[in-house]
Structure 1
Amino acid sequence: MPKAWMVRAGEGGEVIDDFARGFVALGWRELSDLSNATSRETIRAMYLHAFPGHKAGKSFGAIAMLFKFRSVLRQGDKVVSYDPRSREYLVGTIDSDYFYDLAPIPEYPHLRKVSWEGRVSRDKLPVASRNSLGGALTLFAVDDEVWTSIVSALGADATIPEQPVTEEKAELEESHEDTVAKAHELIKDQVIHLDDSELEHLTAALLRAMGYRTRVSAKGPDRGVDVFASPDGLGLQEPRIKVEVKHRPKTAMGSQDLRSFLGGLRDGDRGLYVSTGGFTKEAGYEAERSKVPV
């Protein structure tokens, strides 16, 4: 029976759109083609040649991961990857052996092709599954109980994978980085279930913790300002921070949303746009071009 794997799309899901085109991949662009590297020892020699300054612990984990991606994953294995913007897991099947190609994802040239079969909302999974999938490891085996919950949420029949016989010690020992990553995801799980008013008050509380005095707009027309913050609370001292809060977990805010928000800012204002659904790339470009800091 096929196994199931998590392959993350870079830090913060930076290449998830590339993955969605039918790939999973690892980085290490400086490391050449591993197609002929059939043993862990060969990969180790190639890695240490490409990265002579890396510490032993970091090298051990990277070499184990590369070997697993190159030689342990199989065609027909199941695979998931996480899109943090939509809070969804892509679910699919590996369709190819390992290959090396700089063209599809330039910074992630170690590739396998994937047929994606659907997406599963993180919020539809049980807490135990969310905890298991929420760590920082780039590549790891998904156990049978977690895979069962994914299949159930996907609403499709699939073969439940075998429990992997062994796991690398480096992946079994929960690192500080892994703990932090899981904590971040658990915090997101809590934030996503707040209502609009609660999220506005949470944003105001965070600004107060940073030393600002805040005012949350009353319900009703707010002219694009849900929270106002300044050092004195009156807006006489700069920076004057105007905050818009959009609690739409499934909707990424676009460039037009940013332009509308920026249109309400004046000289001396600073903008803070909070979106639980994230932002499109175009919205990011709009913020970068803005003359008002946002």
Structure 2
Amino acid sequence: MTARRIPQGQAGSGKWADLSRRVASTLVLLAIGVLLAVAQGPWLRLGMAVISAITFWELAAMTGWRNPARHVTLFGRSRPIALAAIAGLSQAVALTGLPLAWMALAVPILLGLPGAARRDRATYALFGIAILIVAFGLVGFRENYGLNFVLWLMGVIIISDTAGYFFGRMLGGPKFWPALSPKKTWSGTVAGWIGSCLFGAILWMAGQGDAALIWVSPLVCFAGQMGDLAESWLKRRAGKKDSSNLIPGHGGFMDRFDAVTGAVLAAMLIGFLTRLPVVN
């Protein structure tokens, strides 16, 4: 039974009206953490392939593929579900670990590009690459850096989102980027940085990681916030409130996965430029 979407403003009142969305975000992140905790080997790869497929389905629907009349030579009259299946299969192939298997990540980008609206092709390519790399990178982090490293990443995102939400609503003040996110404030944004920094410091003092956690955590936090804003920009460009209705009343998977995308990309970049922190 599908829950009826409650119009904005009726689900709550005042500055706490979207609290349920924040709870939904946290639950999705916890679910990802549980998946990464209990799944190993082929099951872990299958989970990331499914995540890639779901988010690609939403991306396709926001970049022109939602037009039923759009024609793509290789697919005929295609739908986002076809591209989603290709993205999931490509991710599964890339995660086999075979030589050059990672090149399969380019398949849904190249095949799907002609089907995107002309003005959205660059957007489709950039967001599509990010989706595939993040799912691929999460498997690499889980297997090469361990479960605790991934849980630290998820912890930073949850703390950033929670601290940003509550302190932003309580303190208010100037908006961080009103054109993209009219509710996000500077007070909430900075609260996320401080909260993630304290999280890293607590882990270090407890002997659960090295001192690099103190400065890497807020960087990852900031990247997660930028991922949130990037997805907000994409939805505004597509004229949609949510990426989909997969979570009745709470939007789509990209709405819950946006901060993870930014955080994981930042961690991968930091790991490329220097040493990532150790999390015990």
Q: Establish whether TM, by shorter chain, passes 0.5.
A: no
Greater fraction strand: 1
Greater fraction helix: 2
Q: TM-score, normalised by structure 1?
A: 0.29
Q: Please tell me whether Structure 1 or Structure 2 has the larger radius of gyration of its CA atoms.
A: 1
